[in-house]
Amino acid sequence: MAIVGVFLGILAYVAVRLGFGFYTVQPNEVAVLTTFGRAERLGGASFGSEDFLRVEGAEGQEEVKYAYPRLVVHTSGLHFKWPWQEVRIVPLAIQTVDIGFDPSANSAFSPVGRRMAPQSDGLGAITKDQLNIKISGQLRYKVSPEHIYAYCFGIKNPIAHVMGFFHSVLREKIANYQAPRRLSGNTEPDNGVGDVSINDLRKNLQDINQHMEEECRESAQRYGISLEAALITNIDPPSEVESALASINTAHNQVSSDLSVAQATADQTLVQSKRAVEIQTLKAQAEVEPLRQLSQRLRELRDGGGLYSYLRNLKLGLLDKAKTIVMEDARR
């Protein structure tokens, strides 16, 4: 009986374990199975050499970095695993976090990103003129389906590494940011406002966002997380210099406004002067045109022989009206 009880107990245990061996994968997730800690490989294949990151070694030889293998993934639906297997669910939906969020300092944040990360008070950085600022915005990311191994097994907390990498690149960009040069035809006066780096940063947020997206394109190969977009929305200086910056910007705006008004007035005066010259030119042409027409008519009469007849008839009419005629002595 004891042997039968042990046998039935083993059967019951196996049945329970097999019953709990079923798991469900949602449409926006994929699953990775591990057998005794080893993930299922896709025929031992790995990424092509064009997907590798190569760095120069100490002896001048190239060393392949982050050459992770491809894994077998299970898509949405009901699946089964053996008791000696473990399943890791990986979300593929786009996640949104605050730019200043630090996952390593918040234990409540799940590394797989099932919950929205709490908002932070911004990311601190230092500008090139030694001004402490706060950067606000959001960062959108998602797990790269082609780099599941890097996300699950490459590092312990991928989002923490990605956020750290992003913060480092962003702080370096802020500390050395140089605004794009103005066009040579720009007549805006150089009043020193352009030397304040925070003004350059605020006016070129789109340029900074594009730079961050380009710099973080390799994050998928490194950490298995692809950055979708960097949305920096605001840059705030310290409260003690906010009023000074506001005064500087107000003065700059006033100068720009006065310059615009003066330029508009000058343009209007120039247009009016050109219009007046055109009007006077048309008036002169209108006065000269009858004389030109008369000259043309007389030239036609002269060429046709009618001018002499016209002069003779005109002379006869004048002689008929004259009371005294003084003639030149032909003998002289």
Report pLDDT for 25.
87
What distance in Å separates the CA atoms of residue 265 and residue 247, rounded to the nearest whole number?
Answer: 27
93-182+193-237: which CATH topology?
Tetrahydropterin Synthase; Chain A (3.30.479)
Q: By three-state DSSP, how is residue 331 classified?
A: coil
Strands (E), 117-240: 123-126, 132-143, 225-236
Q: How many CB atoms lie within 10 A of CB 314?
A: 10
- Residues of the chain short of pLDDT 70, as ranges, are 1, 4-20, 43-65, 105-120, 181-197, 238-246, 249, 305, 307, 330-332
- Cβ–Cβ < 8 Å for 151, 71: no
Dist CA 48 CA 253 (whole Å) = 55
Q: What angle do CA 230, 233, 235 make, to 5 degrees?
A: 115
Burial level of 95, CB count in 10 A (0-12/13-18/19+)?
A: buried
